[in-house]
A and B are shown apart, each in its own frame.
Chain A
Amino acid sequence: MSSKNNVNGQASGFQSMTPIRPGEEHDLRAYLEAMHENGSPLARLPRTHMARFVIVENFHNDPSWGQRKEEHLDLWYLIFTSNLDGDIDSYLDELCEALAPEAREIWGRCVGCPEETKGDALKAYLKHNQIDCGFFYAAYGSSTAAEVEAALAQRDQVIAFATRVQGLSDEELQRSFLAEFGTT
């Protein structure tokens, strides 16, 4: 059951932190760093606003900071976070379906990941390793990614239109407006 702290407006914040199998760290990093080359697979999840994969090697220990004991991670960890629309549960359903091909290369390299790197099995693994937000900030949490994208395109359209029609008569202006923005 996901914490209420993961919610802001209609948006949610998901985070998982999974240990990486020793020996596979560099391959995983190389795979992730090359992932934009063919377009991010996250684009297949239209409910995603922004997301990231981060590899954490260890905690930072600085003796001058007064920390009495050092703290080390025994393995490298893979963090995945996403800022998404709607509830986390159904988002994970979509992710475990749409990212199945990549999931094998990504979470498939993590300790404890099920043999079948998709569907319910993968979802259970991610939820087992979920970290709840303490405080989640969203600048426009009431708008979905689709609404944002449509609004941005429309803004460009309005700017181009407004520049073009300067100086037209009222009749021409109205005609152009109806042609551009539809009558619905």
Chain B
Amino acid sequence: MYARAMGKLPSAGPVTATGTASHNIHGHAIAITVFSTIKWWGKAVLPVLFAVTKRVPKLTETLVQLSFIHFARWSVIKELPYNGEPQTKRKLRYPHMYFESNFNGGWEEYIDAFSHILTSGMAAFWGSSYGFPKALPTAPFKKYIQVNETEASHYYSAYPDATITMIKGALDVDEKLASLKRDAAKLDPAAFGTAYQRFLTEAQRSL
């Protein structure tokens, strides 16, 4: 039977994870980690923004269509838990925002897409952060991200060879293949031939 690739690095495949430091890369997956300091009013506005974005699918429609991102998150850090000496027990002066993403393609292409295509989204999520230039023009926005970005020390993907479109395609193929597998033995050859061609025609965008 067919062997499963469990987290193995690709043998000699194309390089697509470009434009970022080496520890941010595992196969075709790139990690980006960005901190920013939030203005006082962001503490109230951001949770509302998060809640609305979660409940209104249309707002993430473009993000989904772009198919660059596996997983991403924004968190607001209001305080750091105390763990004893030598950590100082004090409150943070400002809230801080943590952003991370796991994506495919190059770093430049990724930030370009956010700058040109998710312009208002960027303004919504980073507008309350100190120093945020607008998302356009791109050059100052890229500089802002670079200055606030931290390189990972260790980055891991369970399927480093795969991209989001491949995964979505694979899940789609699985669904379509299931019914063909179910009927395969029962059909006469001619009927099977037709069913198989129909499966290929419907699944071709995922192959």
**Chain A–chain B contact at Cβ < 8 A:** yes
A interface vs B, CB < 8 Å? 5, 11, 13, 15, 17-19, 21-22, 28-29, 32-33, 35-36, 39-40, 42-43, 46, 48-56, 59-62, 64-67, 69, 71, 74-75, 77, 79, 81, 83, 110-113, 128-129, 131-140, 143, 145, 147-159, 162, 169-171, 173-174, 177-178, 181-184
A153 touches B153 (CB 8 A): no
A177 touches B196 (CB 8 A): yes
* Cβ–Cβ < 8 Å partners of B207 in chain A: 155, 158-159, 162
Could you say which of B87, B148, B164 contacts A74, with CB atoms under 8 Å apart? Answer: B87
Closest 4 pairs between A and B when the two form their complex, measured CB to CB: A112-B83, A65-B131, A32-B153, A170-B193
**Closest CB-CB distance, B184 to chain A, in whole Å?**
6
- B67-119 residues with Cβ-Cβ distance < 8 A to A are 67, 69-77, 80-81, 83-88, 92-94, 96, 98, 100, 102
Could you say which of B26, B46, B87 contacts A134, with CB atoms under 8 Å apart? Answer: B46
B37 touches A59 (CB 8 A): yes
Could you say which of A52, A135, A156 contacts B154, with CB atoms under 8 Å apart? Answer: A52
Identity of the chain B residue whose Cβ is nearest the Cβ of A158 in the assembled complex: B173
- Interface footprint category on B: 35 or more
Could you say which of B7, B92, B161 contacts A71, with CB atoms under 8 Å apart? Answer: B92
Could you say which of B29, B35, B67, B87 contacts A112, with CB atoms under 8 Å apart? Answer: B87
* Cβ–Cβ < 8 Å partners of A51 in chain B: 155-156
Could you say which of B36, B73, B81, B181 contacts A133, with CB atoms under 8 Å apart? Answer: B73
B206 touches A183 (CB 8 A): no
A152 touches B167 (CB 8 A): yes
A19 touches B83 (CB 8 A): yes
A153 touches B88 (CB 8 A): no
Could you say which of B174, B193, B200 contacts A174, with CB atoms under 8 Å apart? Answer: B193
**Closest CB-CB distance, B30 to chain A, in whole Å?**
10
Contacts A17-B80, A174-B189 known; list 6 others, CB within 8 Å: A54-B152, A59-B37, A67-B37, A135-B74, A138-B70, A145-B158
A150 touches B77 (CB 8 A): no
* Cβ–Cβ < 8 Å partners of A157 in chain B: 2
In the complex, what distance in Å separates the CA atom of A52 from the CA atom of B20?
A: 15
**Closest CB-CB distance, A92 to chain B, in whole Å?**
16
* Cβ–Cβ < 8 Å partners of B181 in chain A: 181-182, 184
In the complex, what distance in Å separates the CA atom of A132 from the CA atom of B75?
A: 7
**Closest CB-CB distance, B17 to chain A, in whole Å?**
13
- Is B5 at the interface (CB under 8 A from chain A)? yes
* Cβ–Cβ < 8 Å partners of A29 in chain B: 153
Identity of the chain A residue whose Cβ is nearest the Cβ of B160 in the assembled complex: A50
Identity of the chain B residue whose Cβ is nearest the Cβ of A55 in the assembled complex: B153
B177 touches A181 (CB 8 A): yes
B185 touches A183 (CB 8 A): yes
Identity of the chain A residue whose Cβ is nearest the Cβ of B174 in the assembled complex: A151
B177 touches A154 (CB 8 A): yes
* Cβ–Cβ < 8 Å partners of A183 in chain B: 184-185
